[in-house]
Amino acid sequence: MKASLLLSAGLTLSFLPNLGAQLTNPAKPAAPAGGAKLQLDAGGTEEEAPLKLDAPADAPAPAAAPGPQPLPDVQIPGLEKLSAAQRTAVMKDLGDVGTYIRGVRWQEALEKLTEIVKITGPSHYVENLRGAVFTRMRDFKSAREHFSKAAELSAGMGAEAFHPRFNLAEISFVEKDWDAARTGFQALLKEKATKDKSSLTLMKFKIMVCDFQQKKTADAEAILKTFDQYDDASPAFYFAQAAQCFVNEKKEEAAEWLDSAKKIYPAELNEVYNDSLVEVGWLETLGQ
């Protein structure tokens, strides 16, 4: 199971930025545009394109391959004081962390984060990532400790301060401490801690789930009515309908709402809401 976590300036882990993709190895071509994938042979290696032997004799020679390109200087809030070389090193290491997390290599991710902090010094970004790793390990005590540190370090940093605070509320949600989770999410909504519509909608959905879990049916249904069936950025309406069906033990109807969401929205959006249903116990796995 996975909690829906916010790491920085974006969505949820749900959200580890694919930093590795931004650090293209100059020795290899970049990934094809439009999300296309290189074809693999049965052995899992990249399949070579067939040679064309009928090219005209006067065909121009192919252009020389470009030389190595510098890594992009991507800015991460809180790292502005680092030199360009240090930022490059940190970005590369963060790309490795992303690879480790996606590969379920928790200890390697934590070790790499320890290396990063030697360069950055105390960093809300690193502490937030550490919290995310411990959450995936289901070590919520350690996760809460690091999210709290991230919240302290990011205080006064605008949107960056939102992410660890969301994650602290999410830990309460995962631990089924509905009062604490609701209080955390409601505080963020009241303070308008983020302008990101997807995050705002997700928090409203989670508050609704908290209300359903505590038999506050009228409050939950009042929130449910605010979701837009034609919202092209969020499947909240469909998952809210499914949640209500689960509460009323109408599992077949719930499955129909979830199937509709799968047909309309991309998997990465649905997964964020699936996480909540799994954590509550309405779904057994993220695949259902």
For residue range 241-275, list pLDDT tens digits in order. Answer: 999 999 999 999 999 999 999 999 999 999 999 99
Separation CA 84–CA 104 (nearest Å): 30
- pLDDT attached to residue 284: 80
Is the separation of the CB atoms in 20 and 112 below 8 Å? Answer: no
- pLDDT attached to residue 265: 96
CA-based nearest residue to 170, from 157, 154, 151 = 151
pLDDT in tens, 99-141: 999 899 999 999 999 999 999 999 999 999 999 999 999 999 9
40, β-bridge pairs:
46
Instruction: Please name the residue ranges forming H helices in 8-153.
Output: 19-22, 84-102, 106-120, 124-136, 140-153
- pLDDT attached to residue 46: 39
Q: What size, in residues, is the chain?
A: 288
- pLDDT attached to residue 6: 56
Which amino acid belongs to residue 157?
A: M
Burial class (CB in 10 A: 0-12, 13-18, 19+), 89: middle
Identify the sign of the CA torsion 275, 276, 280, 284.
negative
- pLDDT attached to residue 157: 86
**Against a cut of 0.85, is the pTM above it?**
no
Is the separation of the CB atoms in 203 and 185 below 8 Å? Answer: yes
* Torsion of Cα atoms, 124 then 279 then 2 then 113, to 10°: 30
Separation CA 140–CA 147 (nearest Å): 10
Burial class (CB in 10 A: 0-12, 13-18, 19+), 56: exposed
- pLDDT attached to residue 213: 97
Tokens of 188: 């963020």
Task: Output phi, psi for 88, to 5 deg.
Answer: -60, -45
- pLDDT attached to residue 14: 39
Q: Mark the ranges of the chain whose per-residue pLDDT is less than 50.
A: 1, 8-57, 59-73, 286-288
- pLDDT attached to residue 288: 45
- pLDDT attached to residue 15: 39
